[in-house]
Structure formats: C-alpha cells, structure tokens
Amino acid sequence: MLPPFSTRGALIFLLAAFPWLPPVGAVALEADEAGLTPIERLGKRIFEDKSLSRPAGVSCASCHDAATAFQGANGSPIPAVARGSLPNSLGKRNTPTIMYASFAPPFGFIDDKDEETGKVEKTPAGGQFLDGRASDLLAQVEGPLLDPLEMNAPSKRFAVEAIRDGAYATLAKEVYGEKVFDDPDAAFEKLAQAVVAFESSARFHPFASKFDDYLRGKAELTAIEKKGFELFKDPKKGNCIACHAGKEDSRNPQDWLFTDFTYDALGAPKNPAIAATASAPDLGLCKRPGLDKLAPAGFKIDSLCGAFKVPTLRNIAVTGPYLHNGVFTKLRDVVAFYATRDTDPAQWYPKDEKGKAKKFDDLPETYRENVNVKEAPYDRKEGQKARLSEKDIDAIVAFLETLTDKQKP
C-alpha cells in the first residue's frame, strides 16, 4: 500500500527540492506501522492487500478489522456472515476475532480428565478455524485466500505474483532476499510466514484491558464486575471458566486467555438469516478433513458433530454478533441463553405444533444428543431454577465488558 497522500506529497516535494538528499528507503513507513519489525510490517501489508482477491477489493483486514478487535463482516447485509469478493457471496460462519489466536496450540487430541470419575479420555483441542481444520496459523493463511466465498484467489501463485508486481515487493525482498519470488511455492510459504508474524505481533495481544490492569494490581473492579467475575468462576453458578479458561492463582495476563481451545456443542439456535445452513447444517468439528486419521483408535467422530472451538472472551463486548452462526446480536442474550437454555427453552427455540420448544434446532436430530447438558450452567431441566438470575446475568456481562483492550495500548 502507498503512504497516505500527505506523506507521499511531502516526500516528492523533498526529493524535488533537495535532490542531493540521500534516497529515501523504497519502503516508506506508514503511520500505523510504528513498532513493527520488517517481517511483521510485510505481514501487515499482505494482510491489508486488496489486490490479492478476485475480483480485487477484499483483504484479510476487510473481515478482520483492527477497529473491532480484528473481526468484522466486510459490510455484509447479514452481519452473521461476511461478504466475500464475488458479487453476492456470503460465508457460512460468523467471523471470529483473531486477537490472541496465536496462542492456540496446533490441532490435536489431548488428555482430558473427568473431574468426577477421574477417568482420562482424549479430547480434540487447538487449531485454527471454528472446526480446527487448519492445524496452525501458517496453514490457515491459504484458506480464506483461496475460498470462493472469501477472497477467491485462483491459486497461491496468483497471490505471489500480485505481491511480486505490487507496491511492497521491495519490502518482501528486504525481508527474504532478492530471490524470494523465484519459486512460487517457496515464496508463498515465506509470505504466509510474514502474515503469521503480523498476527503474532503485540498488537494482536496487547493485554491492555481493564481486567489485565486489575490482574497487575493497577485497577479495581467495581462491585458488579467483581460479582460477575465470581459467578464466572463459580462451578455451581456460571462455571464459565471450565471452558473459557484462566488460571485462578495467577496474576499473569497470559494465563487468562479465556479459552482452553477445546471444543463443545452448545446447541445454538438456528440463525434463519443464513441461507447456506437451511439445507446443509453446519456440523462443525466432526466434518474437519483428516479428523479420522488424527483421532485415537475407536474414537466416535460422530460425537463431535455440533462442536465448535471455545472462543476467547477477550474483547467480547466489541465482537458481536455471537456464536458460530452469529445468531445473537447482544452479548447479554448469549449469557441469558446459557442460563435458561434448558429451564425455559421456548424463549430461545421455535415451537413445534404441540407448542414444545424444538431444542437444538440447528442440528439434525441424530446429533442433538451431542449437545452438552451435563455441565453447569446448562445442566438444568425445564421448570427448574436457572443457575443464574437476571441480576447474575447482568453482573457477568459487566465483567465481560472489562475484557476489552483499550484501542491504543
């Protein structure tokens, strides 16, 4: 990308007026590139390069907008699913924030100890995408680039050539050497590594929220925020921390990523706005390519239908809509859903002819038994008292609002 006009004008003026000045580095620094290393800067330019899509016009940043914690929908008429580069192309899933994504371990099966029985079982964890289908950030880059519903680039080579012939080719050569573009496959890998370097840079994990300041002893939580935090941790109330993990005895922000990167089926209500899932339900993790090869022998892959990765709750107040299908616009509704999904399901799901709520209606009937009904807060039955009261819900929301990074850390 070219420097902003004012800077460019000033450079041209300087060069014209003082031709004896040493040549300005071919790669001018953009105002918001301060603090980035050259490889991170290269990654940022690729991340923001709209010429990599076909037709041109969509970059990673179109959907992962720095202003909303690197999440967004690229001006889609249906905010739950982002608009791609082809006319009328809409995705199938809600865009997640990619802040703190670099902390996800590579996809694999880890040991999971059942607190009650003490039995250890293998459970899937880690990876990128809501179904972990890219093992890590490096493997993830080509996904959106080549996805017809996202950037629709015809090939990796296409992207490499666009960068070779584009505005920051010199920067790529500065970082990787003059011959970087000679072998398109090797070049793609290197350029993707630069994107990963950018996504792993401090601006994607500033740990600059009120909660971080609280951990560091530099800020106090208000009474309601504190109450929300307690409910969040309480195994008999919110129990949120069971999946949106944090290390209770640690005041190190890095120990509070608010996800353990495992997978769970929540039974989100169907989002009727998403046309793509009307006929082909989104089954999540069980459809991850290659899962059968990675799973331990005898593992029931079907039991993972309906499961999606536990997302971080950092910046949650600014990253709506919520859940993999973006069915909820308001954060409070998500928390209320946790509380009353089972005690008052008619509040959340459409009703059948007999007036009974069609629970977990976004999944085919065969997979509805995969939905987690054992763990608090959603271990209740219809008519029972919810684990969280209306006031409790308000308090948890107030706590979640402390997780927003200040814009300029």
Q: How far is the CB of 402 from ligand HEC (least distance, A)?
A: 13
Please pick, from the candidates 41, 156, 203, 244, the single residue that binds ligand HEC as defined by CB under 6 A. 244
How many angstroms separate the CA atoms of 174 and 363, rounded?
A: 50
Q: Read off φ and ψ for residue 173, nearest 5 degrees.
A: -70, -35
How many angstroms separate the CA atoms of 348 and 259, rounded?
A: 25
How many angstroms separate the CA atoms of 207 and 275, rounded?
A: 37
228 part of the interface to ligand HEC, by CB under 6 A: no
Structure tokens at 276: 């793509």
Q: Check: CB of residue 50 under 8 Å from CB of residue 57.
A: yes
Q: How far is the CB of 167 from ligand HEC (least distance, A)?
A: 17
Please pick, from the candidates 372, 373, 379, 394, the single residue that binds ligand HEC as defined by CB under 6 A. 372
Name the residue among 329, 291, 323 with its Cα closest to residue 310. Answer: 323
Structure tokens at 390: 């209306």
193 part of the interface to ligand HEC, by CB under 6 A: no
Q: How far is the CB of 128 from ligand HEC (least distance, A)?
A: 4
How many angstroms separate the CA atoms of 309 and 84, rounded?
A: 23
Q: How far is the CB of 386 from ligand HEC (least distance, A)?
A: 11
- CA 8 vs. chain centroid, Å, equals 35
107 part of the interface to ligand HEC, by CB under 6 A: no
How many angstroms separate the CA atoms of 41 and 194, rounded?
A: 8
- CA 360 vs. chain centroid, Å, equals 23
Q: How far is the CB of 258 from ligand HEC (least distance, A)?
A: 9
Please pick, from the candidates 377, 386, 404, 405, the single residue that binds ligand HEC as defined by CB under 6 A. 377
Give the number of other Cβ atoms within 10 Å of residue 100's Cβ. Answer: 23
Please pick, from the candidates 62, 135, 152, 343, the single residue that binds ligand HEC as defined by CB under 6 A. 62
Comparing CB distances to ligand HEC, the nearer of 42 and 141 is 141
| Contacting residues for 342 by C-beta, under 8 A, at least 6 apart | 373, 378, 379, 380, 381, 382, 384
Please pick, from the candidates 39, 172, 305, 396, the single residue that binds ligand HEC as defined by CB under 6 A. 396
Residue type, 169: A
43 part of the interface to ligand HEC, by CB under 6 A: no
Please pick, from the candidates 42, 63, 163, 191, the single residue that binds ligand HEC as defined by CB under 6 A. 63
271 part of the interface to ligand HEC, by CB under 6 A: no
How many angstroms separate the CA atoms of 171 and 61, rounded?
A: 19
211 part of the interface to ligand HEC, by CB under 6 A: no
How many residues belong to the site for ligand HEC (CB under 6 A)?
51
Comparing CB distances to ligand HEC, the nearer of 145 and 274 is 145
Q: Check: CB of residue 256 under 8 Å from CB of residue 215.
A: yes
Give the number of other Cβ atoms within 10 Å of residue 87's Cβ. Answer: 7
* Residues 284-343 interacting with ligand HEC (rule: CB under 6 A): 308, 310-311, 313, 316, 319, 322-324, 334-335, 338
392 part of the interface to ligand HEC, by CB under 6 A: no
90 part of the interface to ligand HEC, by CB under 6 A: no
243 part of the interface to ligand HEC, by CB under 6 A: yes
Q: Read off φ and ψ for residue 375, nearest 5 degrees.
A: -95, 145
Q: How far is the CB of 298 from ligand HEC (least distance, A)?
A: 23
Q: Check: CB of residue 272 under 8 Å from CB of residue 319.
A: no
Residues that bind ligand HEC (CB under 6 A): 58, 60, 62-64, 74, 82, 84, 91, 93, 95-96, 98, 101, 128-131, 137, 140-141, 144-145, 150-151, 195, 238-240, 242-244, 264, 266, 268, 308, 310-311, 313, 316, 319, 322-324, 334-335, 338, 372, 375, 377, 396
